[in-house]
């Protein structure tokens, strides 16, 4: 039996990951910062006789990460897959003044930038830090960090948007370094561009449904990655994405 943890998972890509992974037989720990939202999302899947376990997780809260790792150790004894999916995009902030502080040069605010980096770039490493021992108990441990084409320097043809672009670019390089550190433990760590997806973040006009995007990532990446791929930034079709 394989065990997976997905962050930011009560809606969007995270929820679809939980659905597809549990349909494939994984036991899935579905996390969201609001426990009630996690419970409601898990209920929806468990109605279909899937094995989904809701937990509260604000990804910048190391104590919560640690608690879930201890619970996972007690209940399952290992983890096979971590999907670091939780993310924020300042363009979506309801507070436009706050949004501008991570978006435009004239408004740029270090604290706001650092908050975006904390969630999008640093928290994925903190999750792996606390689940490292449990990953080592898996036959084939995999960490998938949801990055973005917006983190690619090659793709950068427009200005502004510092918080999000910087955070996903940093996530890419931090993952490469983490992958190098964890190679001796055979832990596969990859960053993935899901494409432009119809979620609250991506908007209704996006190219892919969540079903299509997650199916792509599972078929082209999760089911194929090997330790030699660790550290790579991959596109949803499985090809290496330009840095």
Ligand X SMILES: NC(=O)c1ccc[n+]([C@@H]2O[C@H](COP(=O)([O-])OP(=O)(O)OC[C@H]3O[C@@H](n4cnc5c(N)ncnc54)[C@H](OP(=O)(O)O)[C@@H]3O)[C@@H](O)[C@H]2O)c1
Q: Which residues bind ligand X (CB under 6 A)?
A: 7-8, 10-14, 32-34, 57-60, 85-89, 119, 146, 148, 194, 196-197, 199-202, 206
Closer to ligand X at the Cβ: 79 or 86?
A: 86
How far apart CA 70 and CA 68 sit, in angstroms, is 5
Closer to ligand X at the Cβ: 108 or 126?
A: 126
Sorted by sequence, the CB contacts under 8 Å of residue 75 that are 6+ apart come out as 53
Least gap, CB of 192 to ligand X (angstroms):
9
Paired strand residues for 190: 144
Can you say how many angstroms the Cα of residue 36 is from the centroid of all Cα atoms in its chain?
Answer: 20
Least gap, CB of 1 to ligand X (angstroms):
26
Least gap, CB of 14 to ligand X (angstroms):
6
With H, G, I as helix, E, B as strand and everything else as coil, classify residue 200.
Answer: coil
How far apart CA 201 and CA 203 sit, in angstroms, is 6
CA atoms within 13 A on the CB side of 98: 11
Closer to ligand X at the Cβ: 22 or 31?
A: 31
Closer to ligand X at the Cβ: 50 or 86?
A: 86
Least gap, CB of 184 to ligand X (angstroms):
28
Least gap, CB of 39 to ligand X (angstroms):
14
Closer to ligand X at the Cβ: 200 or 237?
A: 200
Please, is 41 exposed, middle or buried when counting C-beta atoms within 10 Å of its C-beta (0-12, 13-18, 19+)?
Answer: buried
């Amino acid at each position: 039996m394989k065990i997976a943890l997905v962050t930011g998972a009560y809606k969007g890509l995270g929820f679809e990951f939980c659905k597809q992974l549990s349909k494939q037989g994984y036991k899935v720990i579905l996390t969201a910062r609001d426990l009630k939202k996690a419970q409601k999302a898990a209920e929806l899947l468990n109605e279909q006789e899937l094995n989904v376990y809701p937990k509260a997780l604000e990804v910048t809260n190391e104590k919560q990460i640690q608690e879930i790792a201890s619970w996972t150790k007690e209940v399952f004894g290992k983890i096979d897959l971590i999907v670091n999916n939780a993310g924020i995009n300042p363009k979506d902030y309801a507070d436009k003044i706050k949004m501008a502080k991570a978006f435009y040069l004239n408004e740029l605010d270090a604290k706001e930038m650092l908050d975006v980096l904390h969630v999008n770039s640093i928290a994925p490493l903190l999750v792996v830090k606390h689940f490292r021992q449990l990953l080592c108990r898996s036959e084939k441990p995999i960490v998938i960090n949801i990055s973005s084409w917006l983190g690619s320097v090659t793709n950068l043809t427009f200005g502004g948007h510092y918080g999000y672009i910087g955070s996903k670019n940093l996530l890419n390089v931090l993952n490469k370094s983490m992958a190098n550190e964890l190679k001796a433990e055979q832990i596969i760590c990859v960053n993935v561009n899901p494409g432009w997806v119809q979620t609250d973040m991506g908007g209704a006009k996006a190219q892919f449904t969540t079903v299509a995007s997650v199916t792509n990532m599972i078929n082209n990446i999760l089911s194929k990655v090997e330790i030699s791929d660790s550290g790579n930034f991959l596109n949803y079709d499985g090809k290496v994405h330009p840095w």
